[in-house]
Structure 1
Amino acid sequence: MHNYNYGKIEIHLDRLLEEKGISKRKLSFWSEMERKQINALCKNEVQRIDLNILARLCNALDCSVSDILEYIPDK
């Protein structure tokens, strides 16, 4: 089995909330998500994100997916 490193995806939700002055509590209400989910996303402690969740976040924050996610290539 090959051990390839394809880079990683970073979630910048915490930074985005700070820039927009929005609390996790408000985002939880606006996106109809549990704060537990939002906290995990803010800490980059998730392995998968449903497209529905991304759509909710983009709608609630009036942003694009690229504002939330960033691909970091392997060095």
Structure 2
Amino acid sequence: MAVNYNKLWKMMIDKNMSKTELTHLAGISTNAMAKLGKNEDVRVNILEKLCTSLDCKLDDIVEFVPDSRE
């Protein structure tokens, strides 16, 4: 399974929020934001901080998609 953060980017657009603003609001590192931008795995505590900051649930910002190899 691969991870996809397209829902996060859509939510940020809807809230008119930049990556820099969310990074500061959530208290996450720029490295964590860069990993999100590349659809790479991040620690659960990063996702928790994002959900708390955006007042949402995990499935509002993360989508798991099957690998094309499966």
Q: If the length of structure 2 is used for normalisation, what is the TM-score?
A: 0.74
Unmatched tracts of structure 2, length 5 or more: none
Pairwise CA RMSD of aligned residues? 1.9
Query: Larger radius of gyration, structure 1 or 2?
Result: 1
Aligned-pair CA distance for 1:10: 1.2
Ranges in structure 1 where 5+ consecutive residues have no aligned partner:
1-6
The structural deviation recorded for 1:60 is 0.9
CA distance in 2, matches of 1:28, 1:10: 18
**The one of 28, 45, 55 aligned to 2:23:** 28
Deviation, 1:74, is 5.4
Kindly tell me: are residues 20 and 43 of structure 1, through their superposed partners in 2, closer, same or farther at Cα, counting changes over 3 Å? farther
Q: Determine if the alignment matches structure 1 residue 64 to structure 2 residue 63.
A: no
Residues 32 and 42, structure 2, Cα contact 8 Å, conserved in 1: no
